[in-house]
Amino acid sequence: MNKKVFLSGLRDGVPVGLGYFVVAFSLGITAKASGLSALAAFVASASNLASAGEYAGFTVIRENGSLIEMALMILVANCRYMLMSAALSQRLSPEMRPFHRFTLSYFVTDELFALNIARPGYVNPTYAYGTLLASAPAWAVGTAVGVLAGSILPNRVVSALSVALFGMFIAIIIPPAKKNKVIAGLVVICFALSAGAEYAPFIKNLSSGTRIIILTVVISAAAAVLFPKKDEEEEARNEV
């Protein structure tokens, strides 16, 4: 355990935790409307770090849907995490212990994935644990607080607070985009195609999670073909 690396992850995870708390607060209000207690909502968020997936699950509960409907909705909403997990697995050291691999798989979220994948070299579990410790508790506690608060705050206020998460995510992708023109171009393309998918025939009728999966596969595959990235060993040999 490298204390300096752990503290670095803890520091980087604090802004993520603050954003999670705000969004989880609004999610807690949804859980309250679905009849969940603060404890039940806390357990749900502590065991499932997925805003879209939890929202889908709470919605099914509110509509008295079946367990099969809930499983299918959460599967569709969380499919993008499979892609992130596949990408993250390529950055794990072959010597990494199974315990660390299983633990890291627990928190493959958009923001934590971006933080860990942006670091050079193999993913450091010590850094990853720091980001997790600073963010995961805020997600679970925020959901419980949202349930307790109920509908005290106006919906417009809750929606305004949710913007913090989008600002935080932009702060994560801007630094690598400034260093790499290819990444910057891909970010712009992703924004443009994501907005266009809202109006494109057939695609607009798909769920947002499904659209994200399609765009991610198409754009990442095209980028891999057009702009292949050499692995670190090959780059080192070329430098020599």
Any domain includes 170: no
List of long-range contacts for 147-155, beta carbons under 8 Å, 24+ apart: 147/28, 147/29, 147/31, 147/32, 147/36, 147/37, 147/38, 147/41, 148/28, 148/38, 149/25, 149/28, 149/29, 150/29, 150/32, 151/29, 151/32, 151/33, 153/29
Q: Which domain holds residue 33?
A: 3-162
Whether residues 94 and 57 fall in one domain: yes
pTM score of the predicted model? 0.66
Total domain count, the chain:
2
In a domain, 62, yes or no: yes
In a domain, 53, yes or no: yes
Residue 102, pLDDT above cutoff 50: yes
pLDDT 10s digits, 51-97? 778 888 888 888 787 788 788 778 877 877 888 888 888 888 888 88
Co-location of 14 and 132 in the same domain: yes
What single letter denotes the amino acid at residue 94? P
Residue 137, pLDDT above cutoff 60: yes
What Cα–Cα distance (Å) separates residue 141 from each residue in 4, 25, 55, 131?
A: 27, 8, 16, 16
10 and 115 both lie in a single domain: yes
pLDDT-based confidence at residue 43 (cuts at 50, 70, 90): very high
Q: So what's the pLDDT on residue 40?
A: 92
Domain annotation covers residue 114: yes
User: Are 121 and 196 in a shared domain?
Assistant: no
Residue 141's pLDDT is 93
